[in-house]
Each structure stands twice: as C-alpha cells, then as structure tokens.
Structure 1
Amino acid sequence: MKILLLATALILAPAGMACAADISEASPVASSYDWSGLYAGVHFGYASGKSNLFIGGAGPGGTDINAPLDPSGFVGGVHIGVNQELANSFVLGAEADIAYSNVDAVGTFAGAGALFKSEVKWSGSARLRAGYAFDRTLPYITAGVAAAKYEVSVMTTGPGGTIPVHDETHLGWTAGAGVEHAFTDRWIARVEYRYSDFGKKDVSVPLFGLGTVANFDLKTHDVRVGLSYKF
C-alpha cells in the first residue's frame, strides 16, 4: 500500500509543477509606467493679462499715470520636452513651448482723446520640470524663462489713424504647476496653470515728448490643456 501511494505521488508531482508554471506565465505581474523619454504635442487654453502704460510725471501736479490695458484671449501652440524618471519615482525634465494667441484689449486713455489697442502676438518659454509619478499620473511643477511679442497702437479719431507706439519682445520668467496622465503607453493628456511676468519695456516711439519716462509692462495667467505623444 505504501509503495502504491509513493508511486502515485511521483507520477502526479511533475504534472502539478507544470500546471503551476503555466499559471505563473499566464498571469505576469503588471509593470509600472515609465515616464522617461522624448515627447512632443499641442496645447490650447486661455490667457488673462495684466498690463499698464506708465507715464512718469504726466498727471495733474506732476503725478505719475498708470493706464490699464489688460489683454486677454485664447492661446494655442506646440511643445517638446524630455523626461527622466528616477528609481524613487521622481521625474525630472525640460520643456520648450511656443504659442500664438488672440490675446488683446482696447482701453481708453483718459484725457488724451484716444484708444489704446494692446495685443500679445506670441509667447514662448524654456522651462525645467519636476514631479512625482503615481504610475500613469504625474503631478509636476515647472519654471523657467519666458518671452512674448507685445504690440500697442494708438487709435485716434484724427487723420493720423492708428499709430504704432510699441512693438517689442519682452523677456521675463514663468512658473506654474500641472498634472499629466498617460492613458496609453504613447499618448499623454495634461492640464496646466502658469503665471508669467514678461517685465517692462520703454515705449518704442517718443509719443509723450522727449525726456518723458514711459513704458509698458505685461503679466499673464494661463490655463492650458494639451496632448502629447511619447516617442
């Protein structure tokens, strides 16, 4: 009887081991998503701007004048970047983007009998990024340098018509945060907020007389959504 049981066990053991191996091969452990690599994509959103025309000593009693312009509107563009995921799930990267825009405004310059039209023609940035990966979801922060082409014109009611008074590329900085989600191994969706300060530039033409200090500044709050392809 003992010999019969031992023989049965020896016969069934290889079959059991083979069955366990088949189950193991059929149910592999799912690997986490790897954010490392090059990517490129498109984005669009809305930008709310803050801009002032500053004129030194031109007000009553020699006071300074700050005339608000505040352009706003939609933006759309492209971006390209690269990520490197570290062993501890931190992700470091760099990204560049450029956006063309319909960001503009028309404001009244009190006492001058004229309207000012301000328009951000394009904006762009080069930034570093840092985030922490929760498998396919990546919240991140970003910061870097930013530039924007800013144009301002005076719209008069006289024979002069529209007079360009400012056509400059402003250079400044930008910072923000966002979250990305890889819904496939290649396609990544994102939503992002950015604040940009493009600094100030002097008025391009001596519209207010020689020796008058006058300049335009520009700041924007952007909310963008985007889609990227990971190579």
Structure 2
Amino acid sequence: MVQRWLAGFVSATLVFSATAAKAADISPEASPAVAAPTFNWTGLYVGVQGGYQWSNDRSTEFVTATGAPTGFAQDFQPTGGLGGVHVGYNYQIDRIVLGIEGDAELGRVSDSLTAFGNTFEARKNWEASIRGRLGVTPMDRLLLYVTGGASFTELKYSYVSLANAFPPANATISKTGWTVGGGGEVALTDWMTARLEYRYSDFGTTRFDWPGVAGTYEQHPRFHTVRAGISLKF
C-alpha cells in the first residue's frame, strides 16, 4: 500500500510540475491598445492673417443736374496686400463645426488711371468683417469650412486735374457690404492651427458728387481676397 501511495504522489507531482512549466511558458496577454485622443475644435481662438486682394470697381459718370449718364465710364482694378487679426469661437458636434469669427485688417489696396488730362484714384486702407462659419472634419485635425457675413470698409476716391482746370477733390465713403468664402484649416498641434481661405466681398453701389465738378459718379467695388493665417486655440 505504501508503494501505491508513493507511486500516486510521484505521478501527481509530475503532472503538477508539467502544468506549471507550461503555464510559465505562456506570455501574458498584450494589453489592449489605447486609442489616440481625438482632436476637438471646440473653443476660443485668436490669430493673425495676411494676404493679397484684387478687385474691380467700375465708375460711371452722370450729369449732376439731370442725373443723365454722360457715357463716360472707367474700370479701376485696385490690388494690394493686407494683414490683421482675427478672433472666434468654434463648437463641434460630431463631425460638424459651428463657429463665429470677426477680423480686422489694414493694407493699401489701390489703383489709379489718367483720362482726358485728369488723374483718378480709388483705394481703401482697411476692412473688417463678422461672419458665421460652418465646417466639417473629414479627419480629426482637418477642418473644411464655408463662411459668410457682413463686411465693413472705407472707400476713398480722389481726382486731380493735370491742367488745373478743376480743383483737386476727394471723397471718403464708409460702406457696409457682404462677404462669402471658404477654406481649410489644419491643427498643427493641440493649440495651434493654420488656415488658407478665399473670400469675395461686395459693397454695393455708391453715388457721390465731386466738389466743384458738375459730375456725379457711381462706384461698385467688389473684392477677391486670398488669406493665410495662424490661430492659437484655448
């Protein structure tokens, strides 16, 4: 009986040892991979931007006393660089991003021409806007958006008679118009984004009289702008 008991003990010990050795050879299960955090566009941001603007501003002349067109018209094509600051807020819902943004810019956008011995100039020195933004994020760090709203500027027109037939004249006109456009924005880090944007701005028609000249002029300025910018996200 003792022999049988010893044989059983030895067999159980061998089985236990083999099982333990097999378990030791099995590597522990790999921990499940932790997904990288998803970038979220929600939050306040401020930034700077700069770009180039070109435009078409058609001027049509009328007789002040009667309002009849004289048949004289000219096309200004002001161009120039501009730059400024912007501030806005985004709110993300799934892949949709809603936002509001305002900006202000300085820059000389101008053109001049000479006709019938007279020099005319059209220019503007600043522009601002407040707009809504609607975007979609096809990738977490990429935002494609459209934007539109109200735009504000001050238009300046000047006239000089090279033969001194008339005194120099200037007209400064504050205007409110509309602007629409779109662009793309990419998150470079969790707190910095870069953008590229195109916008079209239209300030409607404006009529004014030149002091000392029996003429009324109608202008219709329309501007195209490409801007690049950097924003800091809070």
TM-score normalised to structure 2 length: 0.82
**CA contact under 8 A between 2:61 and 2:69: conserved in structure 1?**
no
Q: What secondary structure is seen at the aligned counterpart in 1 of 2:16?
A: helix
* Other-structure match for 2:82: 75
Q: Report the Cα offset of residue 9 of structure 1.
A: 8.2
Give a deviation string over 1:197-230, Cα, whole Å, max 9, x none.
0112222544542xx5422221101011000000
**CA contact under 8 A between 1:174 and 1:197: conserved in structure 2?**
yes
Please list every run of 5 or more consecutive structure 2 residues that lacks an aligned counterpart in the other structure. 1-10
**CA contact under 8 A between 1:165 and 1:207: conserved in structure 2?**
no
Q: Highest CA radius of gyration, 1 or 2?
A: 2
Please list every run of 5 or more consecutive structure 1 residues that lacks an aligned counterpart in the other structure. none
* Other-structure match for 1:119: 123
* Other-structure match for 1:224: 227
Give a deviation string over 1:34-70, Cα, whole Å, max 9, x none.
0000101000010001112221369xx9653321122
The residue identity in structure 2 corresponding to 1:40 is V
Q: 2:70, 2:122 → 1: CA distance?
A: 24
**CA contact under 8 A between 2:169 and 2:211: conserved in structure 1?**
no
Q: 2:216, 2:96 → 1: CA distance?
A: 48
Aligned residues: 218
Matched, 1:154 2:159: yes
**CA contact under 8 A between 1:43 and 1:226: conserved in structure 2?**
yes
> After TM superposition, which residue ranges in structure 1, 4 or more long, deviate above 3 angstroms?
9-13, 61-64, 158-162, 204-208
The residue identity in structure 2 corresponding to 1:81 is G
Matched, 1:202 2:214: no
Query: Any residues of structure 2 matched to 1:38-49 within 5 Å, and which?
Result: 38-49=44-55
Q: Percent of aligned positions with the same letter in both sequences? A: 32
Matched, 1:131 2:138: no
Q: 1:220, 1:206 → 2: CA distance?
A: 27
